């Protein structure tokens, strides 16, 4: 992707998907298309940074015709297109591996260990949960509102187990997860159990790669959920896309600006404002 030369004033947009670039209910991103095209035409990067699984993110990235890296499963892994930076991506926080046309930095714990940890935390706390590993593709589709084919992609987890609390004290369950050395976070629809996965660490690692290749790179973060707070603190400019969690998120990221609308319309406003200020 990178040409020889010295680009300045490049913006790297790190963006959440559900409830941010995608409408929370319909998953439509078309209201943001004109602004997305402006960002791409200006030579800026749009990095999808999400709790979604790689297969689902790849499909969205292709539909949006975005050539840039992706961060999946709440920072479980960073995928950089092979040759994107001219050579194999050299992450400062760990080695990358090349597979299926990507340079991959793995930060998260393998999925089977997460499924087992959630089972043990459920037993220890007496809280009944239901994770993706226990759900059929049809149930995932019903709970998310995704078409069956997309739900199949969403079901293919590697570093993050989404789950819902069916019955019991959420706080007791989260304490049990932490007592076992794992972490939890919460998105717009699901809790997530992880270990090692970290959106903020993934964003920092990728930002270092951009800045090693181009000067004057500025970073912008856009998110709507509590699981976005960490990476929104890592960027130069942060935007909150309105959601039910905005009040809590504002306390965690007090310097962030709040877009005037939810979903892709709010995303377009925020990205447009950053492009105008560039």
Active site residues: 16
The CB-side HSE value for 235 (13 A sphere, CA atoms) comes to 31
Backbone phi, then psi, for 13, in 5-degree steps?
-90, 115
Q: What is the DSSP letter of 277?
A: H
- List C-alpha distances in Å: 242 to 163, 186, 231, 238, 272: 23, 16, 17, 13, 17
Both tokens assigned to 258: 């709040």
Query: Edge-to-edge strand order for the sheet containing 217-223?
Result: 97-99, 102-106, 77-81, 70-72, 45-49, 10-15, 217-223, 237-240, 257-258
Q: Which residues pair with 193 in a beta bridge?
A: 161, 184
Residue 190 near residue 162 (C-beta atoms within 8 A): yes
- Taking residue 249's Cβ as centre, other Cβ atoms within 10 Å add up to 25
d(CA 192, CA 39): 31
Q: Which residues pair with 250 in a beta bridge?
A: none
Half-sphere exposure of 44 (CA within 13 A, CB side): 24
Instruction: Give the C-alpha separation, 6 to 4, whole Å.
Output: 7
C-alpha radius of gyration, the chain, whole number? 18
């Amino acid at each position: 992707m990178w040409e020889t030369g010295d680009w300045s004033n490049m913006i790297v947009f790190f963006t959440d998907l559900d409830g941010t670039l995608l409408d929370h209910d319909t998953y439509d991103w078309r209201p943001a298309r004109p602004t997305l095209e402006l960002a791409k035409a200006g030579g800026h990067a749009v990095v999808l940074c999400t709790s979604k699984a790689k297969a689902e993110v790849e499909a969205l990235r292709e539909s949006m015709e975005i050539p840039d890296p992706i961060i999946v499963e709440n920072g479980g892994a960073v995928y950089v297109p092979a040759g994107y930076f001219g050579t194999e991506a050299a992450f400062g926080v760990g080695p990358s591996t090349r597979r299926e046309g990507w340079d991959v930095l793995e930060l998260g714990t393998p999925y089977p260990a997460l499924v087992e940890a959630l089972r043990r935390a459920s037993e220890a706390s007496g809280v009944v949960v239901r994770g993706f590993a226990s759900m059929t593709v049809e149930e995932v589709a019903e709970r998310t509102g995704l078409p069956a084919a997309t739900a199949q992609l969403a079901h293919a987890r590697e570093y993050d187990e989404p789950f819902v609390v069916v019955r019991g004290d959420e706080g007791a369950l989260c304490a049990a997860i932490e007592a076992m050395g794992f972490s939890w976070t919460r998105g717009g629809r699901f809790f997530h159990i992880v270990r090692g996965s970290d959106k903020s660490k993934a964003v920092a690692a990728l930002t270092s790669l951009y800045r090693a290749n181009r000067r004057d790179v500025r970073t912008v973060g856009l998110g709507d959920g509590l699981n976005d707070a960490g990476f929104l603190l890592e960027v130069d400019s942060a935007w909150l896309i309105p959601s039910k969690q905005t009040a809590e998120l504002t306390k965690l990221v007090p310097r962030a600006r709040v877009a005037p609308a939810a979903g892709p319309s709010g995303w377009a406003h925020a990205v447009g404002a950053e492009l105008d200020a560039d």
